[in-house]
Amino acid sequence: MTPPETDLSGDTAAGDQSPAVSLRPKPSVLRKRRDFTRAARGKRVAMPGFIVQMVVRPEGEATGIRVGFTCSKKVGNAVARNRAKRRLREIARLTLPRQGKPGNDYVLIGRRNTTATLPFDQLKSDFARALDILHGVVK
C-alpha cells in the first residue's frame, strides 16, 4: 500500500487533512529526571486538563523538540494514569511538530479527573493555546 500523494509543503489534495507520512521531525521523549526537574524550573501554564512546563535548552545541547509526560498517583490507578498519558502523547504528537520550537523541552502533567475525561478536541485546543502563551504569541 502506498501513501497518498503529497507535495513537499505537507498539504494534501483533500485540504486540511494531514498526510499519511509526516514530513516534520518527530519530537524525542524526555526520560531522565534532570530534564524533568529543569523543565519544572521553567515557564508553566495550567489548563483545565493538564499543566505544561517549558524550558529553553542551553546553547550547545542538541537541537530539536523534546517532550515528557507525567501523571502522579493522584490521577488514579495505573489504568487511569496510562489513559491520561496516552491522551497527552497524542495531543503532543498532533500539535508540537507545528507549534513547538526547536531547542525547547516541554513536559505535560496530567490532572486528576480531567485529563482522561475532557473531550479530546478541548484538550487539543487547550494545548495549542498553552503553547501560544508559553511562546508569547498574542492572539
In a domain, 33, yes or no: yes
17/15 Cα distance (integer angstroms): 6
In a domain, 94, yes or no: yes
In a domain, 17, yes or no: no
In a domain, 44, yes or no: yes
Pairing of strands 28-29, 66-70: parallel
Nearest to 114 by CA among 84, 90, 94: 84
**pLDDT tens per residue, range 78-114:** 999 999 999 999 999 999 999 999 999 999 999 998 9
For residue 114, is it left (φ>0), alpha (ψ between -120 and 50) or beta? alpha
In a domain, 6, yes or no: no
CA 22 to chain centroid, in Å, comes to 16
CB distance 7 to 19 below 8 Å: no
Structural domain containing residue 67: 28-135
3-state SS, residue 22: coil
In a domain, 4, yes or no: no
Residue 21 has pLDDT above 70, yes or no: no
**At 48, which CATH number?**
3.30.230.10
User: What is the pLDDT, as a whole number, of residue 108?
Assistant: 98
In a domain, 43, yes or no: yes
pTM: 0.80
Per the structure, how many domains does the chain have?
Answer: 1
